[in-house]
Amino acid sequence: MSYATRNDKDFSLEHKTKKKKSFVFSIFSSLLLLAAVIGAVVAVAMIFFLKDITNTLPSYQDMLDHQPSLATTIYDRNGKVVTQLFQENRTWVKLDAISPWMVKAILAAEDDSFYDHSGIRPVAIVRAIIVDIFHMGAKQGASTITQQLARNLFLSNEKTIIRKAKEAVLALRLERIYTKDQLLEMYLNTIYMGHGAYGVEAAAKTYFAKAPKNLTIDESAILAGLVAAPEKYSPFRSGKSSQTRKAYVMCRMLDLDWISKDDYDSYLNKNPALAKRTARTNSISLEGAPYFVSYILFKQLLPNYGTDKIYRGGLKVHTTLDIDLQKKAEEIVSKMPHEGALIALDPNTGEILAMVGGRDFDKSKFNRATQAYRQPGSSFKPIVYATALEQGYRGVDHILDAPLLFPNGWSPSNYTSNKYDGEITLLTALAKSINTSAVRLAQIDGVGRIADLARRIGITTPYLPDDLSVALGTASVTPLEMSIAYSTFANNGYKVEPYAVKEILSQRGESLEQNGPKLTSAISPTTAVSIRSMLEQVTGWGTGARAKIPNYETFGKTGTTNDWTDAWFVGGVPGLVVVVYIGNDNHKPLGGRSTGAVAALPVWKEFVSYAVSKMNLPSSFSIPGDAEVEAVRVCKTTGFIAAEGCPATTLLMAQGRAPTSICPWHGGSLSAARADDNAPQLLLAPIDDEATSNKYAMKLAGEDLTQPQDNSGQTDSAPIPQKKAPEKEPVKLPSSSADPYKKDPSQQTDMEAKYQELLRKYNIIE
């Protein structure tokens, strides 16, 4: 065998036989390299992208400090919910106060692996991103409960890949600073569940009128099913769609072995009773006690705390209101044929128990209880009589009921203008609401003294006349003012400051504000008890006799203005003062000679009768020791101690000031009556002349005492001494042609405009 000679360079690397690379391998290598480059670029881009996103997201501290929008709840004095104020109807509830079925249902429907993942599900996110890219937009879900929570708290609902990235970052952050239970509680309190209900508390109340802890399996499945599409799956809108979604949720719960097959079969086809829907167009609608709530809203809550705190802060406002009394008041006022108001106060504390400012708040925001300045008519007269008591006069003293004609032509008359009773006791003049006697007494008192006492007991109106017409109730006052004034008579002489809010608690239960009674000594206990006793005669045998509440000491006074344009009844029982006002906003007459006794008294009687059946009130008024009064049985006609045949009544008088002799007109001794140092006396006003007193003064025993008499030549034998009162101040008279409503200080149209202005001021409406 021969071998061919080879050169060394034949074995060099340059001359080795080279293997050919496959084409497929070359393509694969190129693609791999390209992918690596793209991956690197994408990685770098993602780093900058995520860094940029991270810098624009809330920090950990921001997330810890975040406060959800919570409804402010207004409670009555007994802890009953009156209404809620909110931008989002949400009330926070602890996780352990939520039905376990609701927890299982929401997890089954939205995220059954919630307790296992770290806030996101990477595989699901990748799948979603691929689908979104393929469709050139965000089409795929895959959000965990934590991601949904992040979106609800901090992001919008826009469907973009950027938003999804932010959502994932925030979810991871949330998982680092909160426990799973905390996250689930936050989620259950923030999700929107349709019909204005945010969170499970509002949803349970909206759909089933129950607390979330009482939700059953099927109710929980219905609510959990709402999260995906609240309007579509609402049982109020479509029972069929709701049932389909409910079945899906229950099937998921069964697959997860969270409910038994028996439970599944039992609840699947059940249709739980739905709550009665209440129409609520927006957050400013006031469902419960609207006049009362608007009163505290614009007087106290919004000025002190601002719109954001009130409508988003989750405050708990505990008020003085009694919601049962309020509902009864609203029911009664809504049935009145004319507009009006009712307000009820606790006279011992000033707490507002009920407030109704009109027949329909939706039609008129004008709160007639606090904003309507109206003439109180004769219901103002007790202030005139209380002023007389302060100056030492007594209910048993006498005054004339006789025609009046002042130099300027002013001639006030009685309701029955052609009848005069002559000389009568003050207690009779008040009980029968005699106008001429009230004007005389006002001239004796002095208008300035009357105004001073009115101010002390709570009449704050700027529309208080400084002339004798004040005795007839020509001031323009609000029902609230009248309730304060009469509370002074009820509580033995203290002016109360009415208040409506007892305490305000923050979302965390911290006390932000506390309020209590504020009382100021206004008149002496003796004066207060004495005038209250005289007002009890009104409801006993006077113009307000039909107002008497059986088994309760009752005091009060009717009020009627000229031409029957306004009707009042003001009064109370122990522990309660109530004012009822009725009148048209345009001041047209009520018609049918509608006096306070005809129009307002029945409304007052119905409400107070209901109130005493619900409240634990004493049957009689307390009389403090320093009042120094005594109960005296007196003759209503003469004021002397009642004899057997007298028209008698029991009157509380200052100790040592009561007459000691028996009524000489009904069997008593005339000489004893003349010798009685405390015998009643006839008070003659400066307007009274000798002819008037002789004509209208009482005659001797055995003669007709009820008709005007000519006592000329007989005054020496009269047991009633006369006392001519000096004119304490220049008499001021009203114009004989004055129109009290020529300029109404509280036009309804103005108040409606002011209400809308307040809504804009506090950014409640645009």
Residue type, 503: E
Portion of the chain with pLDDT greater than 70, in percent: 82
Per-residue confidence band for 81, with pLDDT thresholds at 50, 70 and 90: very high
User: What's residue 748's pLDDT?
Assistant: 67
User: What's residue 8's pLDDT?
Assistant: 43
Average pLDDT for residues 706-734, to the nearest whole number?
A: 66
Residues 592, 526 contacting (CB under 8 angstroms):
no
Sign of CA dihedral 199, 200, 206, 210: negative
pLDDT in tens, 177-235: 899 999 999 999 989 999 888 899 999 999 999 999 999 999 999 999 999 999 899 99
User: What's residue 11's pLDDT?
Assistant: 37
Average pLDDT for residues 298-306, to the nearest whole number?
A: 94
User: What's residue 245's pLDDT?
Assistant: 96
Per-residue confidence band for 16, with pLDDT thresholds at 50, 70 and 90: very low
88-267: what fold?
Penicillin binding protein transpeptidase fold (1.10.3810)
Q: Would you say residue 460 has pLDDT above 70?
A: yes
498: which 2 tokens? Answer: 């009415």
- Which range has highest mean pLDDT (22-31, 269-278, 440-449)? 440-449
Residues 576, 618 contacting (CB under 8 angstroms):
no
Residues 684, 725 contacting (CB under 8 angstroms):
yes
| Closest alpha carbon to 429 in 376, 485, 381 | 381
Per-residue confidence band for 477, with pLDDT thresholds at 50, 70 and 90: very high
Per-residue confidence band for 285, with pLDDT thresholds at 50, 70 and 90: low
Q: Would you say residue 448 has pLDDT above 50?
A: yes
Q: What angle do CA 669, 671, 677 make, to 5 degrees?
A: 105
Residue type, 16: K
458: which 2 tokens? Answer: 């709570």
Average pLDDT for residues 293-303, to the nearest whole number?
A: 95
User: What's residue 39's pLDDT?
Assistant: 61
Span between the terminal Cα atoms of the chain, in Å: 112
Q: Would you say residue 739 has pLDDT above 70?
A: no
| Closest alpha carbon to 558 in 403, 435, 467 | 435
When mean pLDDT is compared across 49-53, 339-343, 504-508, the lowest value belongs to 49-53
Helix and strand counts by DSSP (H, E) for the chain? 24, 18
For residue 81, report the phi and psi dihedrals to the nearest 5 degrees. -75, 125
Q: Would you say residue 65 has pLDDT above 80?
A: no
Average pLDDT for residues 111-122, to the nearest whole number?
A: 87
User: What's residue 179's pLDDT?
Assistant: 93
Sign of CA dihedral 751, 752, 754, 755: positive
pLDDT in tens, 540-587: 999 999 999 999 999 999 999 888 899 999 999 999 999 999 999 988
User: What's residue 9's pLDDT?
Assistant: 43
Calculate helix-pair angle for 161-177, 23-56, nearest 10 degrees: 60
What residues are paired with 579 via a beta bridge?
Answer: 343, 570
Q: Would you say residue 708 has pLDDT above 50?
A: no
- C-alpha to C-alpha distance for 73 and 311, rounded to whole angstroms: 10
User: What's residue 707's pLDDT?
Assistant: 43
Four-point Cα dihedral 255, 259, 260, 261, nearest 10: -50
| Closest alpha carbon to 144 in 101, 180, 196 | 180
pLDDT in tens, 362-378: 899 999 999 999 999 99
Q: Would you say residue 48 has pLDDT above 80?
A: no
- C-alpha to C-alpha distance for 12 and 549, rounded to whole angstroms: 130
Per-residue confidence band for 12, with pLDDT thresholds at 50, 70 and 90: very low
- C-alpha to C-alpha distance for 501 and 212, rounded to whole angstroms: 28
229: which 2 tokens? Answer: 């599409």
- Pairing state between β 316-319 and 72-75: parallel
Q: Would you say residue 651 has pLDDT above 70?
A: yes
| DSSP-derived secondary structure letter, 83 | E
Residues 388, 723 contacting (CB under 8 angstroms):
no
Q: How far is CA 98 from the centre of its chain?
A: 30
Residue 647 CB-half CA count within 13 A: 10
What residues are paired with 683 via a beta bridge?
Answer: 399, 723
User: What's residue 394's pLDDT?
Assistant: 98
541: which 2 tokens? Answer: 């045998």
Residues 557, 535 contacting (CB under 8 angstroms):
yes
Residue 622 CB-half CA count within 13 A: 11
User: What's residue 87's pLDDT?
Assistant: 79
User: What's residue 41's pLDDT?
Assistant: 53
Q: Would you say residue 490 has pLDDT above 60?
A: yes
When mean pLDDT is compared across 105-109, 395-399, 595-599, the lowest value belongs to 595-599
User: What's residue 170's pLDDT?
Assistant: 83
Q: Would you say residue 3 has pLDDT above 50?
A: no
- C-alpha to C-alpha distance for 279 and 531, rounded to whole angstroms: 48
Calculate helix-pair angle for 145-154, 100-110, nearest 10 degrees: 90
pLDDT in tens, 671-700: 999 999 999 999 999 999 999 988 998 865
| Closest alpha carbon to 234 in 266, 264, 208 | 208
Instruction: Count Cβ neighbours within 10 Å for each residue of 434-463 and write b for 16 or more, e otherwise.
Output: bbbbbbbbbbbbbbebbbebbebbbbeeee
Per-residue confidence band for 139, with pLDDT thresholds at 50, 70 and 90: very low
Q: Would you say residue 332 has pLDDT above 70?
A: yes
Residues 368, 349 contacting (CB under 8 angstroms):
no
Q: Would you say residue 537 has pLDDT above 70?
A: yes
- C-alpha to C-alpha distance for 687 and 731, rounded to whole angstroms: 10
- C-alpha to C-alpha distance for 262 and 233, rounded to whole angstroms: 25
Residue type, 366: F
DSSP annotation string for 397-433? SEEEE-----TTS-----SSTT---EEEEHHHHHHTT
| Closest alpha carbon to 652 in 743, 529, 765 | 529
Residue 669 CB-half CA count within 13 A: 7
The three-class DSSP label of residue 289 is coil
Average pLDDT, the chain: 86
pLDDT in tens, 612-648: 999 999 999 999 999 999 999 999 999 999 999 899 9
Pick the more confident residue, 162 or 528: 528
User: What's residue 35's pLDDT?
Assistant: 67
The three-class DSSP label of residue 523 is coil
474: which 2 tokens? Answer: 């020509």
| DSSP-derived secondary structure letter, 549 | P
User: What's residue 712's pLDDT?
Assistant: 40
Per-residue confidence band for 325, with pLDDT thresholds at 50, 70 and 90: very high
For residue 358, report the phi and psi dihedrals to the nearest 5 degrees. 170, 175
| Closest alpha carbon to 540 in 639, 640, 377, 649 | 649
Q: Would you say residue 135 has pLDDT above 90?
A: no
Per-residue confidence band for 68, with pLDDT thresholds at 50, 70 and 90: confident
Give whole-number Cα distances, 680 to 172, 243, 334, 373, 634, in Å.
91, 85, 47, 38, 11
Q: What angle do CA 226, 230, 236 make, to 5 degrees?
A: 90
Four-point Cα dihedral 655, 661, 663, 664, nearest 10: -150
Residue with tokens 């204005």, as numbered in its chain? 196
